[in-house]
Structure formats: C-alpha cells, structure tokens
C-alpha cells in the first residue's frame, strides 16, 4: 500500500507503460476536488493499491491510459524538475503541440503567460512568507508542499494564441514519499470566461440603468411614489418627503391615503388607476406633518414585472396650488371684465341709437345753412360785393365739411347699432367708378394730380351692391389719395375679377404710411400722430366707415404702403351675392330709339365718361373705347355715324387709328372728329389731312360747342 503525507488525501498507485513492461509509481497524492478526472484517477489508484497481480496492474494501466488520453482534458506529467514526460491528446488539441515536440524538452512554464507566472510567484511569496522563483516552481510550489492547488492560468499555444485555463496540480511521489514529478490537469476556460464577461457587462448595465432610473426619480420636480396594489407606499423621492415633511423610511410601508386631507378620495384614485390602468390630472390636497396643505395634480399608471404580473402604481404629483389661485383670480377678473364690457356695450348702443335717431334733427338745419349759402353764392337775390362773396364761400365750405363729418358719424353709428341696411341694386361698375372720380376731378386738377381708371375686361360688368355706399367708399379713398399726393402725382383706380369677388384698388404716389401706423387706420376717430395731423385736415372716420360698409357687403379692405412711394387701398365686393352678370365688351348704353351712333375713342376715363354722358343726354347712341385697338374693333363691328378721336393714347395712337380706319372700306367714309390737347405741328396736320373731318382743342371746347360739332358732323354725313 502506498504512503500518504496527509490522511485526508488518498494514496494512489500510478503505473507508467515502459518498453520492458509496466513500471509502478507508488504513493502519488492528488487533490480531491469534485472533478471527474480526479475521481477516475482515485478509482484507478484504489484498484492498483488493492491488486498487486500483474494482470490487475495491466487492467489499471489501461484505465489510466484512457483517462490521460482524453481529448477533454489537458494532462501533462513532468519529472521532479518540471520537464514534461507525458503530454496527452487533450493537451495536443488545446496547445497545438505534438507530444514529441515537448516531451523531455520544455516545462509547463514555457507554455504559460510569463507575466502571470511572475505575478503568481510574487503572490505566493507574500502568502507563504518565502521567496519563490518565477518559473516552474511557482506553478507547483503549493502542490510540492502537499497543499491542494487549483488556479487559473493563461496558456500559450504553438501558434502564439492564448486561452484561459483552469489547472489542477498534484505532486507524484514514490514509496519513500519523495517527489518524482507533477501532474498538471487543465481545462479550457474560454467559454466560462466569456460567460463571466457577459454577466459582468449585464450586471454593469443593470447597475447603470438602476442608477439612471434613480437619478430621474430623484431629480424630478414632481413628488413621485410607488405603491403596491393595496395602496401601501413602496418607494418615494425627495420631493415626496418635502411634500409630506416625512422621511423616506417613515413613508415606505405606510398607506398612501394617510397623507391627504380626503383619504377616501385618495383611495378612490388608487382604485381608479388599478381599474383603468392610468389616471391624469387627478387633484388631491396633501397635508404635511406640520399641517400645511398643498393642492397637487396626480398622473398615475400601473407597472408590472417582466412576467406582466401587476406590481403596483407609479404616481407623480405636481404642486398646482399657485396655478389654482391664479385661475381663481383670473376667473374673478374675467367676470369683472365681462360685466364692464356689457355696461360699455349698452352705453355704446344707447349712444348709437341716439345718434341714429337724431339724424334728421342734425341734418335739417345744416342743410338750410348750406342751401341759403348756395343761393347767396349764385346771387339769385341780387349782386354781392367781393368781401361778401368771400364770406359766403367760407360759410359754404365749412357747412359742407361739417355736413360730411355729421354724415360719417351718423353712418358709423348706424353700423354700430345695427341700423344700417344695404339697398342692393344692379348697376355698371364702370359708371360708378367714373362718377366717383368726377367728384374729385376738379380738386385733382387744381393740384395737378392725374386721375386714371384701369378697368380689366372681366370687371366691366354689372354688379349687385349698395350703389350709394359703394360710391361713398370710393369717394373716401379717392379723397385721401388726392389729399396725400403731392402736385404732379398720380391716383390710379383699378378693378379686376378675383374668383367670386370684384377687387377694387385706389393707388396713389403720395407720401405713404409707416408700417407701424397701418393697424390704426381703420379705427374710428383715429388719426396718425405725425406731421400728417398738422398738415392735413380730417376726422379719422372715413376709413373706419369704409371698413364697416365693405364688411357689411361681405368683403374685406386692406392697405399696402411704403414711405415716400405711395399707398394702395384695396377692397372686395362679392359677386355671388346676386349673380353678377358680365356684359359684352363695351356694351353701349341704350339711347333713345332712332339716335345716331357716335364712337368715342379716348384713354382718359373722365373725358370718356363726360363725352359719353353728354352724347347720351342729347339722344345719341354712345360707344366708348378706352384704347386705339379697341376703337378700331368697335368701328368695324358697329359702323358708327361719327368717330370722336383722341390722338395721344398708349399702344395704338390716334394717328395710327386714323390710318387703319381709312384702310377699312366699311368705315372709310365715317367722319372723324379729333379732340386733342396737343399743339400740332405742320407735319402732324399734314399726316391727318384727308383722313379726319375736323381737329379741335379740348381745352377751348365747351360741352355745348362739342355737341354742336357732333350734330354738324352727323348732319353733313
């Protein structure tokens, strides 16, 4: 039986195959770890120690040989100096060496990480209190002292690659208990290391996630808590401690409802969350330890574990005490404002009703003053001297200005009180625009301001609107345009169709309006606080009234302006209100039956309307063309009895029109009366010779004189 150094270690007999037969290795002490290989070795030892026959030894050697040549373990046996004597199949597979390459040539230290070997020597030296030389001694020192030794070590393969291994070292002893070698059994620890690294990474991620979650939990401005399904608090943040004036330890384990003025409502809230999975804006009043009450708004939801098992309720409470107070104050202020607004509206309606009803009483005496002033001005009751004429003119001008102001105030009051109604009629838009411009023509001429009308063909239609109010809108816009346009400027009136609306624009080249002043324009009794107020008279009512009347029609009004470049006031009137009807191009007004046809070709809208109206009143059928090309087309179509022609026109001039008309056989014999404000040269007159009936100057020709010329021309035809 083999000897043992310690009673706790079984004595094993190991055999080694030799060329001459079986060589018995007695007294090998091995560790007793729960290891299949070591267990098998111990079983082998017992067989050998209990059976001394050669047959039994051969059987034991076969078993041991199978174990040593297992591919699952690296089995390396060395002599006492550490030189490798046995290198099994498992070692060959793990390390890439053949047994012949290492046996009797190297030690296990030569295939181990040198830095780890040095570190192990230093560690053992400190641990055992003796100097241990780095190298093979460091790998087997504990085993050489009979101490069980299992450690981790990095092996280096033949190709230089490395892998972690778990090594179990056992000293091999003879019958005299002398060490004759060492057995190093190793397993590849790569898979376990990878698992450990992954577990370590997952553990770190879990810790990071827990830290992040806790940070969010604690840094939240709301009071946060969790409860179990029974409403018992399981966790809180600092804000919850502040809200209740209790510590975290005091709160955890206590019923949630205990910290509110209405525990039943608090419990109802928890039950509602459990039933509906969440609640939002659930208000409660928290009461702290010192009695302070705080109104909070709760948002809560249920939470679950990974198996979807209900864990409890997560709730966040926001302090809304100040918001509730401000809401109450705002509500009270709104009630006060509503009451004040109702009083103001009632007062305003009373004022508007009074002014609207006083219309007759205010206008009647003023109309008398204006009427008598006109009588005096016309000297119907006898001549008056120059001074008296001056006074009468002042009275008449002031009276008319005051009447205009009263009319504006009364009209605005009617709108505000709801007493202004639309009197819808069907009329030609062209006629209304021209008539509005005629009202300002004299004032524009005095200021050397040119008035223009640009009517798009699709806008030359009949519309349905309140004619008087639309004329008043145009008069207000044109008055402002002329008032704020310096001498030599231009005021242009244009109209176009825009979907179901007619868009009318009054554009001037005046002083313009600052952008910050534009919002003030349409407010009643508002004038711009600038040099305008001192230089130009006005009441600030015209544009406000315009807005009211435009909106009463169902349209809108707006303005675009640049300082020093002029302004563009535009407004729309709906066409769909009564189905506006487009007229054939330049449809003439109906003249008394049997009247001769006179075609007027004139680009100035005011002159065109003046001549056209004069002809109509005299019984002629008047055709109107605002351009040379349009005039030629109308002449060819309607074959007029006389053509009244202006010479200076954009596009086709009057000279070109005369040439074209004389080349058309159908109208070649129609007389042409030229009306011009030009001083014609001899060459100009020569060009017209033989093509026109007569040439007259506009400025020196009165209306009656013009009609006499027309009558002569038609009669001479």
Q: Tens digit of pLDDT for each residue in 97-152?
A: 999 999 999 999 999 999 999 999 999 999 989 999 999 999 999 999 988 899 99
Q: Which of 478-482, 590-594, 675-679 has the weakest average pLDDT?
A: 590-594
Q: What pLDDT is attached to residue 179?
A: 93
Measured CA angle at 106 (ends 103, 111), to 5 deg: 110
Q: What pLDDT is attached to residue 698?
A: 64
Tell me which residue of 59, 67, 62 sits closest to 90, measured CA to CA.
67
Q: What class does CATH assign to 421-581?
A: alpha beta
Residue 252 to residue 294: CA distance in whole angstroms: 21
Q: What class does CATH assign to 220-319?
A: alpha beta
User: pLDDT at residue 3 above 70?
Assistant: no
Instruction: Report the chain's mean pLDDT, rounded to a whole number.
Output: 80
**DSSP letter for each residue of 77-94:** EEETT--EEEE-HHHHHH
Tell me which residue of 254, 282, 281, 251 sits closest to 266, measured CA to CA.
282
pLDDT > 70: percent of the chain: 76
| Joined tokens for residue 367 | 């109309």
Measured CA angle at 314 (ends 313, 315), to 5 deg: 110
User: pLDDT at residue 584 above 70?
Assistant: no
307-366 tens-digit pLDDT: 999 999 999 989 898 888 888 888 888 888 888 888 877 776 676 666 655 554 565 566
Residue 502 to residue 30: CA distance in whole angstroms: 112
User: pLDDT at residue 22 above 60?
Assistant: no
User: pLDDT at residue 85 above 70?
Assistant: yes
Length of the chain: 717
Q: Which of 120-124, 219-223, 238-242 has the weakest average pLDDT?
A: 219-223
Residue 429's alpha-carbon distances to 95, 195, 253, 434, 455, in angstroms, are: 107, 92, 86, 9, 9
Three-state DSSP at 481 gives helix
Q: What pLDDT is attached to residue 570?
A: 94
| CA-only gyration radius of the chain, Å | 58
Q: Where are the domains of the chain?
A: 11-188, 220-319, 327-416, 421-581, 597-716
Q: What pLDDT is attached to residue 215?
A: 76
Whether CATH 3.40.50.2300 fits 597-716: yes
Other beta carbons less than 10 A from residue 695's beta carbon: 18
User: What's the N-to-C CA distance of the chain in angstroms?
Assistant: 163
Other beta carbons less than 10 A from residue 61's beta carbon: 21
Can 11-188 and 220-319 be said to share one CATH topology?
A: yes
Asked if 47 contacts 63 with a C-beta cutoff of 8 angstroms, the reply is yes
Whether CATH 2.60.40 fits 327-416: no
Three-state DSSP at 594 gives coil
Q: What pLDDT is attached to residue 352?
A: 60
Strands (DSSP E) contained in 376-524 are: 424-428, 450-455, 461-466, 490-498, 501-508
Measured CA angle at 85 (ends 81, 89), to 5 deg: 140
| Joined tokens for residue 402 | 């005051």
What's the average model confidence in pLDDT over 50-66?
Answer: 52
Q: What pLDDT is attached to residue 107?
A: 95
Three-state DSSP at 313 gives strand
- pTM score, whole prediction: 0.36
Burial 140-166 (b: 16+ CB within 10 A, else e): bbbbeebebbeeebbbbeeeeeeebbe
What's the average model confidence in pLDDT over 174-192?
Answer: 92
User: pLDDT at residue 31 above 50?
Assistant: no
**DSSP letter for each residue of 11-37:** EEEEEEEETTEEEEEEEEE----S-HH
Residue 516 to residue 510: CA distance in whole angstroms: 18
Q: What pLDDT is attached to residue 424?
A: 86
Residue 515 to residue 164: CA distance in whole angstroms: 82
- The stretches of 277-385 forming alpha helices (DSSP H) are 321-357, 359-377
With cut-offs at 50, 70 and 90, classify the pLDDT of residue 591. very low
Residue 390 to residue 373: CA distance in whole angstroms: 11
User: pLDDT at residue 604 above 50?
Assistant: yes
Q: Which of 265-274, 644-653, 675-684 has the weakest average pLDDT?
A: 675-684
- Per CATH, the number for 11-188 is 3.30.450.20
548-579 tens-digit pLDDT: 889 988 899 999 988 888 899 999 999 854 44
Q: What pLDDT is attached to residue 377?
A: 74
């Amino acid at each position: 039986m083999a000897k043992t150094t310690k009673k706790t270690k079984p004595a094993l007999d190991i055999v080694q195959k030799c060329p001459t037969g079986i060589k018995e290795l007695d007294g090998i002490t091995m560790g007793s770890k729960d290891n299949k290989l070591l267990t098998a070795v111990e079983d082998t030892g017992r067989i050998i120690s209990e059976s001394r026959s050669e047959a039994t030894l051969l059987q034991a050697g076969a078993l041991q040989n199978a174990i040593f040549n297992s591919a699952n373990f690296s089995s390396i046996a060395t002599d006492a100096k550490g030189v490798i004597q046995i290198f099994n199949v498992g070692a060959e597979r793990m390390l890439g060496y053949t047994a012949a390459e290492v046996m009797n040539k190297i030690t296990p230290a030569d295939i181990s990480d040198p830095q780890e070997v040095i570190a192990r020597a230093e560690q053992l030296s400190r641990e055992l209190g003796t100097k241990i030389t780095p190298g093979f001694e460091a790998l087997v020192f504990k085993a050489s002292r009979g101490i069980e030794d299992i450690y981790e070590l990095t092996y280096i393969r033949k190709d230089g690659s490395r892998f972690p291994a778990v090594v179990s070292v056992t000293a091999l002893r003879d019958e005299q208990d002398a060490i004759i070698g060492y057995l190093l059994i190793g397993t590849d620890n790569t898979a376990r290391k990878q698992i450990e690294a992954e577990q370590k990474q997952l553990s770190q991620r879990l810790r990071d996630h827990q830290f992040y979650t806790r940070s969010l939990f604690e840094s939240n401005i709301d009071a946060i808590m969790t409860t179990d399904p029974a409403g018992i608090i399981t966790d809180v943040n600092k804000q919850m401690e502040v809200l209740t004036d209790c510590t975290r330890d005091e709160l955890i384990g206590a019923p949630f409802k205990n910290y509110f003025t209405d525990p039943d409502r608090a419990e109802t809230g928890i039950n509602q969350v459990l039933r509906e999975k969440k609640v939002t804006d659930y208000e409660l009043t928290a009461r702290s330890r010192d009695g302070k009450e705080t109104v909070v708004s709760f948002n809560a939801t249920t939470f679950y574990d990974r198996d979807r098992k209900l864990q409890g309720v997560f709730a966040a409470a926001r302090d809304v005490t100040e918001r509730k107070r401000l809401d109450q104050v705002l509500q009270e202020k709104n009630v006060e404002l509503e009451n004040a607004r109702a009083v103001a509206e009632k007062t305003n309606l009373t004022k508007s009703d009074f002014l609207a009803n006083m219309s007759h009483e205010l206008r009647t005496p003023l109309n008398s003053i204006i009427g008598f002033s006109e009588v005096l001005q016309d000297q119907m009751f006898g001549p008056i001297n120059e001074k008296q004429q001056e006074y009468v003119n002042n009275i008449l001008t002031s009276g008319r200005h005051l009447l205009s102001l009263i009319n504006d105030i009364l009209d605005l009051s009617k709108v505000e009180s709801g007493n202004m109604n639309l009197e819808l009629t069907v009329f030609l838009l062209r006629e209304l625009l021209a008539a509005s411009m005629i009202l300002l023509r004299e004032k524009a001429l005095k200021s050397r301001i040119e008035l223009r009308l640009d009517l798009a063909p699709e806008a030359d239609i009949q519309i349905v609107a309140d004619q008087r109010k639309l004329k008043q809108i145009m008069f207000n816009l044109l008055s402002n345009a002329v008032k704020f346009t310096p001498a030599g400027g231009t005021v242009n009136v244009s109209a176009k169709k825009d979907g179901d609306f007619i868009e009318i624009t009054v554009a001037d080249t005046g002083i313009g309006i600052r952008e910050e002043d534009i919002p003030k324009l349409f407010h009643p009794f508002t004038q711009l606080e600038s040099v305008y107020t001192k230089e130009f008279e006005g009441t600030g009512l015209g544009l406000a009234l315009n807005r009211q009347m435009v909106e009463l029609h169902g349209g809108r009004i707006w303005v675009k302006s640049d300082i020093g470049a002029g302004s563009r006031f535009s407004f729309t009137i709906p066409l769909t209100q009564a189905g506006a009807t487009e007229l054939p191009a330049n449809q003439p007004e109906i003249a008394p039956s049997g009247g001769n046809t006179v075609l007027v070709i004139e680009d100035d809208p005011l002159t065109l309307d003046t001549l056209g109206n004069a002809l109509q009143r005299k019984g002629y059928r008047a055709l109107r063309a605002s351009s040379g090309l349009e005039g030629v087309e109308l002449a060819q179509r309607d074959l007029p009895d006389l053509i009244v022609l202006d010479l200076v026109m954009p596009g086709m001039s009057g000279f070109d029109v005369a040439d074209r008309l004389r080349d058309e056989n159908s109208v070649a014999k129609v007389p042409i009366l030229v009306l011009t404000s030009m001083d014609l040269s001899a060459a100009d007159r020569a060009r017209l010779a033989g093509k026109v009936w007569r040439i007259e100057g506009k400025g020196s020709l009165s209306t009656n004189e013009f009609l006499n010329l027309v009558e002569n021309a038609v009669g001479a035809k």
